[in-house]
């Protein structure tokens, strides 16, 4: 296994941080099954995250920034009345 699938919740009603992990799975199928059972009053994102790999970004000023935007991910929006 060289990746894990992580579910993050996005809660726009909370103050920062409003984006945090809630689950990790060894396969996309298991993560998608869990997403189907979660409450539909939140937005979620599913990320494929590499294991034993640095995915941050080091700037010219030697600062480390998040590289999460470069990772494969899917959005699941339920707040618009979808079920």
Q: Which residues contact 41 (CB under 8 A, 6 or more apart)?
A: 78, 79
Name the pLDDT band for 82 (thresholds 50, 70, 90). Answer: very low
- Give yes or no for a contact between 31 and 68, defined as CB atoms under 8 angstroms apart: no
Q: What's residue 46's pLDDT? A: 93
**52-58 long-range CB contacts below 8 Å, 24 or more apart?**
52/2, 53/2
Which pLDDT tens digit goes with each residue over 16-53?
A: 667 889 999 999 999 999 999 999 888 899 999 889 98
Single pTM value for the model: 0.74
Q: What's residue 65's pLDDT? A: 79
- Give yes or no for a contact between 46 and 24, defined as CB atoms under 8 angstroms apart: no
The CA distance from 56 to 6, in Å, is 17
């Amino acid at each position: 296994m060289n990746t894990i699938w992580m579910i993050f919740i996005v809660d726009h009603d909370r103050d920062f941080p409003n984006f945090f992990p809630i689950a990790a799975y060894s396969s996309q199928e298991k993560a998608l099954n869990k997403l189907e059972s979660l409450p539909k009053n939140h937005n979620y994102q599913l990320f494929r995250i590499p294991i034993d790999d640095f995915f941050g970004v080091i700037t010219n000023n030697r600062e480390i920034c998040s590289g999460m935007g470069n990772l494969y991910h899917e959005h699941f929006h339920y707040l618009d009345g979808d079920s």
